[in-house]
Amino acid sequence: MTGVLGAIIGIVMWMLPAGAIQPSLPAERWHLLWIVCALLAAIGSWVGNILWNAAQKRLPLTLSGQMIAFETLRCSMPSSTMAAGRTHLKSWPSFCC
């Protein structure tokens, strides 16, 4: 459903005249955006890797496998149930998503 909605929004945006949504930006602003995005991605990956390694060192091997499985489930379940319209999970805190 997300892909269909994205395609619909993309088609609508493509059909709008240029500058209808946002005025043109100078090239320097786009370069700044890409630099900031790249720095945030690199720093976020680096910090996440450090924290993941610290958690792996402190947990026994049997618990680290469970951590990988349940982290994946915990991060995907609230967003997928909200997208499906089941709103009883909206009050859950979102720790990783």
pLDDT tens digits along 68-84: 787 777 777 666 555 55
3-class SS string, 5-73: HHHHHHHHHHHCCCCCCCCCCCHHHHHHHHHHHHHHHHHHHHHHHHHHHHHHHHCCHHHHHHHHHHHHH
pLDDT tens digits along 35-79: 999 999 999 999 988 988 888 888 888 887 787 787 777 777 666
Contact indicator for 48, 41 with CB cutoff of 8 Å: no
pTM, whole model, 2 decimals?
A: 0.43
Contact indicator for 79, 93 with CB cutoff of 8 Å: no
